Amino acid sequence: MRIRVLTIVMVGAALLLAGEIRAQAQQPNPLDTVPDVMPFDVPYGSPIVLERAKAVIAAAEAEALKHNWKMNIAVVDSGGNLVAFERMDGAQLASVAVSEHKARAAVTYRRETKVFENGIQLNNFYYIVTLDGVIASRGGIPLVENGKLIGAIGCSGGTGSQDEVVAKVGAAVIK
Are 63 and 129 contained in the same domain? yes
In-domain check, residue 39: no
Among 94, 105, 102, which Cα is nearest to 70's? Answer: 94
d(CA 122, CA 125): 8
Under DSSP, is residue 73 helix (H, G, I), strand (E, B) or coil?
strand
Q: For the chain, how many structural domains are there in total?
A: 2
What is the domain-level CATH number for residue 121?
Answer: 3.30.450.150
pLDDT of the chain along its 175 residues, tens only? 667 755 665 666 666 666 666 656 678 887 788 888 888 999 999 999 999 999 999 999 999 999 999 999 999 999 999 999 999 999 999 999 999 999 999 999 999 999 999 999 999 899 999 999 999 999 999 999 999 999 999 999 999 999 999 999 999 999 7
Are 67 and 143 contained in the same domain? yes
Residue 74: Cβ within 10 Å count: 31
Structural domain range at position 68? 50-172
100 neighbors 157 (Cβ within 8 angstroms)? no
In-domain check, residue 38: no
Interior CA angle at 115 toward 148 and 170, to 5°? 55
Which helix (H) or strand (E) segment holds residue 84: the answer is strand 82-87
d(CA 133, CA 81): 13
Are 104 and 20 contained in the same domain? no
